[in-house]
Each structure stands twice: as C-alpha cells, then as structure tokens.
Structure 1
Amino acid sequence: MLEHGGRLRQAAITYGIPMDDWLDLSTGLAPYSWPLPSIPAEAWQRLPESDDGLEQAARDYYQAESLLPIAGSQAAIQALPALFPGRRVGLVEPCYAEHHHAWRRAGFAPLALADDEVEEVLDHIDVLVVVNPNNPTGRLFAPEQLLDWHVRLASRGGGLIVDEAFIDPTPEISLAPYTSAPGLIVLRSLGKFFGLGGARLGFVLAEQSLLVCLAEILGPWNISGPARHVGRHALADKPTQRIWREQMHTDSQRLASLLTAYGLAPQGGCALFQWIPHIRAAALHQALAEQGILTRPFDQLSALRIGLPGSEAGWRRFESALAQLSPEMRCPR
C-alpha cells in the first residue's frame, strides 16, 4: 500500500499529540463543510438504484454525455488497466503515485515521462495518463494540448486518460465536455473540491461502450445509497459551488503569500494546495508536525504539499508555526 496524506491517527501516535489538536493540511481536500442534506432511512435500508437522479445531476454538472459513478477515482485507477491489454503506456510524472502502481500491478511496464518528453514518444505509445492539474506539483496542461494528444492516440486505437481530481475550481479547462469521443477518458471526484473524501464517490467520463466494460469489472452497487444521495445534492448545488470556487482561489493566493513571506515561496500549486520543493523537506515536515500541523511530504522529490487552512484560527496557527521555524528551515535551498 502506498503512502497518502490524511493519516492523522498515525501522526497523533508518532508525535504524541491528540487527534483533535492537529491542523491537517496534508490531504488537499477542501477544508470547508459542504451543506449536506439529511439522509433518508431508505438510503441505508435499500440496495442502491441507478434511477435516483445522481447520473443526471452529474451529466449536468460535468456537461458530459455518458458517465459511470465509481467509488472515488481510486476504483477507476485500479480497474482501467484491464481495458487496455498489451498496450504501451506512458505516464506524465511525477504524479499521483497510484497510477503508476496500478499499471505495474496489472503487468504493464509504464514509461515515466517528463512534461517535455511526451511529444517525442507519443507516436510510440498507445495510452497516455495525465493528471491535470497535477497532483502534487500543480502543473497544468492546456486543453488544446491534451486534445491534440488525444486525437493522435485515438487515430491508432489508443487513448488518453486524464485525472481531473483537482480541476473543479477551474471547470473551464476541463475535458469533460469532449468525452463522447472514442479514446478520451476523464476521471472526476467529489473528494477534493466538494470536500467529501469520506463519501468515496467519483465518476468516469467516456464513451458508453467503454463504460459498459468498466461497469462489468466493478460489478453492481459499487456506490452506497447514502453516497448517491449526498452526491446528487452536492452536484446540483450551484450557489455553494460558486461560493466555494471564489473562496478557494482567494485562500490559495493567501496561502502562497503567507508561505512566501516566511521564505517558502511555492513553486507550483492550484486552488487547493501549494507545492514547496525544499532541500530539507523531511525536516520541515517534522518541524511542523511537532507543532501539530500535518503536511504531505514527498521524500523522493524533497518537497511538501500544503493544503488550505479552513478557519481563521487555522490560519493564525499556521502562521505562528511558520514564525517559529528556524532560519535554515525558511530557506528552500
């Protein structure tokens, strides 16, 4: 099992700090609380049914013709390799590590590609996997670039898989409206922007024939009734979506400015997190953890991903922790 952010119980044990005393900036999830509806008893008591309005709410939100609800993006990441037997696969890395892990576990030898290496190898692979915006660096590819790659791959029967888990604050750059075209697969999640990671709800957007095959792999009832109920309401709640987008952009800029003021200028990020390469990233992570602030370390990249505080008290606490860092910790080099 790979390491992920949000392992708060483990951090509480490691540092001897009770869970309630932590400021968790490690997950990249929205730190606000979505105004959720009450869950009716039948959502718990009956098997989930697909005619409850969830799929239509998702089609309206994503502006996509066909989609499949899944138990978070992770379910699709693990299942998709089975639909491309014998294909040559490239992944633009560094990215969310579960992608590489899933293809290797399925028997592939995925080719790790830097951003500027895609063009030279695109005609020699069949499937390209891109995370956009990238997790953890925040690197962003323009839709026009991705659509060009898709056309070239699809012309040979290949495909482009785009993980858009962090794209909801900037829906104008999503490829969701183009997913009726063969060979284009987009993954979306309610975990990040909606802050509903515990619901384990996401969607695969693609042509219908591929979704039928994927549904056969995943089997029936892969989304719980309560998750379907909550998801339907969140996807239709446009006023809250507008408010949250504005708040995230404001808070993301505030976070970047705060980090810069203490010598930790971000080198990437998006509306939900900032990316801090640091020569002593592990020590920086530990120094903050000793103050009860959890960040997401990436040891091989020597960097931290830092999410948004969710309250004014959280912002004050984080600034106080930054102010207490030693001078060498405030120098990324």
Structure 2
Amino acid sequence: MSEARIWHGGDLDEARRLFPDAPEPWIDLSTGINPIAYPMPPLPARLFERLPSPADHRDLEAAAAEAYGAADPAMVVGAPGTQVLISLLPILWPRSRVTILGPTYAEHAHAWRGAGHAVAEIGSLDEAGEADILVVVNPNNPDGRLLRREVLLEQAVRFGRRGGRLLVDEAFADFDGNETLVSVLPENTVVLRSFGKTYGLAGVRLGFAVAATTFAETLRKALGPWSVSGPAMEVGRRALRDRSWREAAQAARAEDARRLDALLEPLSSRAPGGTILYRLMDSSRASDVFSHLGHHGIWVRRFQHDPRLLRFGLPGSAEAWRRLETVLADLHKG
C-alpha cells in the first residue's frame, strides 16, 4: 500500500478542485513564505550562459555564514533548497533509530523512513530514549514551539555521549531565531536554514546546512558540483548581505502577524500560535472556516494530524487584507 500523500501549502490546483466556483484570483495564504519578496536584482545574461565557479559557490556560503552567524564559511553548505537536504541526510547516515519531536513538518519522517531508518515521532524530549538521532524543528512548524538553545545543547551532549546526532531544522529562524544553534554549533549537530521563506523567493530553490567542517565536506561531495544555479547564487549573495532589508522585513511582518492574530482570535479556541511568517488557529469551527474561505477564493493550510488546526500565511497586499477581513467578518457574525 502506498504511503498517504503529504499535504503541503501552495497547491492551488487542489484549491480549484475543491472549490471550482470560487472567485479568481485566489489569495494563497497556505504557505509560510514572506509575501513581500526581496526585490530581485537585474541578472546579467552570463549567469545563465555559464556554469557557476567554485569561487562563486564559496562566496555564497560566506554570505550565508555572515547572515546566520556561523564561525567558519567552511561549515556552511549551499543546496538547491532545504528539502533536498532533508532527503539527502538520511541516505548519508547509517540506518539508525530516529526520534522526531512532533507533530512537525511531515517530510522529515517521510525521508528517514524512506531510507530504511526506524522512526518514532515523540511529543516530548523526555521520550527520546536511546535513539541514535534526534530531529527537531525550531521554531516548530506548525505551532511555533521554540526550544531554548540551552535545551538543545543539552540534547546534543546527551546524544553525543553515545555517538548520536542532532538535526535541527531552523527553516523559520531568520525572523524567530533567538535560540539558533548556528553560532554555538556542537560537533554532532547539523542545522538547516531556508532562504526562500524569509526572502519570499521560494522558486529560487536555495537552502543551507551548517555542520562541522568534516561533515560539511561530506555533504558537498554528496550534492556534487554546480548544485546551486548561478542565478540563485547571485540572488542569494545579494539578499543575504542586505541586513537592513532583513531587519525592516522582520519588523513589518511581525506587525502583520499581530494584525492577523486580531482577525483570528474571535474564531479561535485559544490565542493563535505560529511564527512571524504564519499564524496557527485552533478552533472547533476549523472545517467551516476552511470551507467558507475556500468558497470565497482564499486558500489556507489544513493538517492531516489535527482537523482543528488551520495555518494562515500573511496577506501580501491591501486588497488581500481587505478580502480576508471581509470574509472573516461574515464568520464572526455567524
């Protein structure tokens, strides 16, 4: 029997299938991607006409090291998106007992199981037992749970005593990353960082792993030459070094998150959770809310593990905010 399809955000084909009479254009709030993208710089034709050089790749990784606070650019490995790294790591490590702190991003469990590892999803770190590998998403997707750096360092030490490893997915840490491990990275820990979510450029397909230099080199060899395209390198280098844009975007999206919370709170059973880039609503009315929004051309994220949850990305325009406010106001009246 084939494994059930994993639901992801951004699937407007599914939205149109479920709600064929919904008005166009759809407002897609189903992802956790910054709706105000980094302004794409003009890209010279040469980036499309030649292979990127090793020097270009090293400069990209140096820019990421600066942005994320890594001690050495050699610890940073550029890849065509963090999803590729999520799929690659279980192949590189020997078959092990893997614990994943959940509920969380489902591709982690899928990748480890697919590579033949024994996977257990746990609800608390106390349940990790004698596993060989611990996987944590921090801040967590979708509920935004944020573990303190000290807690994760303790886990790295505990697993390290028996030769185990810690994998921390910090996909949403750029705007919610006070507890990042990058600057204090233990030898047995790998951290993943996403580019597209923060910069609103998911189609660029760019992500990074941060690891001890020996394992970082193993990852580079596994990815092979030219794993990141020349245009992606150019956009990435410029954006990662634009600290003023990142700080302004963080402040603006935090204000948007507060605005969205105010709209969701009357429908929620408890205060919305999540991260700066998306908000999570817990409600006994979630199914009705999802359908009402869908019939009005607004697509939000459902979850297979809990039908009470809906994830809302941030609207990216005044018109999107107006439509969302109008549709939610109808539900408030009901």
TM normalised by structure 1 equals: 0.92
Q: Could you tell me which residue of structure 2 aligns to residue 331 of structure 1?
A: none
Q: 2:262 aligns with which of 253, 257, 270?
A: 257
Where 2:320 maps in the other structure, the secondary structure is helix
Question: Does 1:28 pair with 2:32?
Answer: yes
Q: 1:43 aligns with which of 47, 70, 77?
A: 47
Describe the SS at the equivalent of 2:331: coil
Q: Work out the CA distance in 1 between the residues paired with 2:54 and 2:237.
A: 11
- Give 1:106's match in structure 2, choosing from 115, 123, 141: 115
Could you say what secondary structure the match of 1:144 adopts? helix
Q: Quick check: 1:293–1:318 contact (8 Å CA) kept in 2? A: yes
Unaligned runs of 5+ in 2: none
2:294 to 289, 292, 308: 289
Q: Report sequence identity in percent.
A: 42
Q: Which residue of 1 aligns with 2:205?
A: 200
The total of aligned residue pairs comes to: 324
- Specify which of 108, 126, 137 is matched with residue 131 of structure 1: 137
- Offset at 1:108? 1.2
In 2: Cα distance, 1:281 partner to 1:257 partner? 17
1:72 and 1:2 map into 2 onto residues whose CA distance is 18
Instruction: Map 1:1-333; keep pairs closer than 5 Å.
Output: 1-16=5-20, 21-52=25-56, 53-64=59-70, 65=72, 66-115=75-124, 118-122=125-129, 124-179=130-185, 181-263=186-268, 265-302=270-307, 303-325=309-331
Q: Which moved more, 1:17-26 or 1:128-137?
A: 17-26
Paired with 2:183 and 2:24, the residues of 1 have a C-alpha distance of 42
- SS of 1:186's partner is strand
Whether the 8 Å contact between 1:87 and 1:126 is mirrored in structure 2 is: yes
SS at match of 2:100: strand
Q: State the Cα distance separating 1:312 from its structure 2 match.
A: 2.1
8 Å Cα contact 1:55-1:67 kept in structure 2: yes
AA partner of residue 39 (structure 2): P
Structure 1 gaps, min length 5: 329-333
- Secondary structure of 2:310's counterpart equals strand
Residue by residue over 1:68-103, the C-alpha shift from the partner in whole angstroms, topping out at 9 and shown as x without a partner, is 001111011001012321321100010000000000
How far is the alpha carbon of 1:275 from its aligned partner?
Answer: 1.0
Displacement, 1:198?
Answer: 0.5
Which stretches of structure 1, 4 residues or more, deviate above 3 A after TM superposition?
Answer: 17-20, 261-267
Superposed displacement of residue 42, structure 1:
1.1
CA contact (8 A) 1:9 1:19 kept: no
Query: How far apart are 1:14 and its partner, in Å?
Result: 3.7
Give the TM-score, by structure 2 length.
Answer: 0.92
- CA displacement, residues 173-196 of structure 1 (integer Å, 9 cap, x when unaligned): 2111123x3111100011211111
**C-alpha separation in 2, matches of 1:95 and 1:215:** 27
Contact 1:281 1:299 in 2 (8 A): no
Look up the SS of the partner of 1:289 in the other structure: helix
- Distance in 1, matches of 2:267 and 2:291, equals 17
Q: Bigger shift: 95-104 or 248-257?
A: 248-257
**Structure 2 contact 139–172 (Cα < 8 Å) conserved:** yes
How far has the Cα of 1:50 moved from its partner? 2.9
Secondary structure of the residue aligned to 2:78 is strand
Amino acid at match of 1:2: I
Q: Which amino acid aligns with 1:137?
A: D
Check conservation: 1:25, 1:294, Cα contact below 8 A: yes
Kept in 1: contact 2:269–2:284 (CA 8 A)? no
Residue aligned with 1:220, SS: coil
Q: Secondary structure at the match of 1:298?
A: coil
Pairwise CA distance, 1:63: 1.3
User: For residue 112 of structure 1, what is the amino acid of its counterpart?
Assistant: E
Q: Tell me, what secondary structure is at the counterpart of 1:48?
A: coil
More divergent stretch after superposition (60-69 vs 16-25) = 16-25
RMSD: 1.8
Q: Which moved more, 1:46-55 or 1:92-101?
A: 46-55
Conserved in 1, the CA contact under 8 Å of 2:139 and 2:176?
no
In structure 2, do the counterparts of structure 1 residues 18 and 260 end up closer, same or farther at CA, with 3 Å as the change threshold? closer
Give me the whole-angstrom Cα distance separating, in 2, the residues matched to 1:267 and 1:130.
21
- What are the superposed Cα offsets for residues 263-307 of structure 1, whole Å, 9 maximum, x if unpaired? 565442111111112334333212211101010001321111111
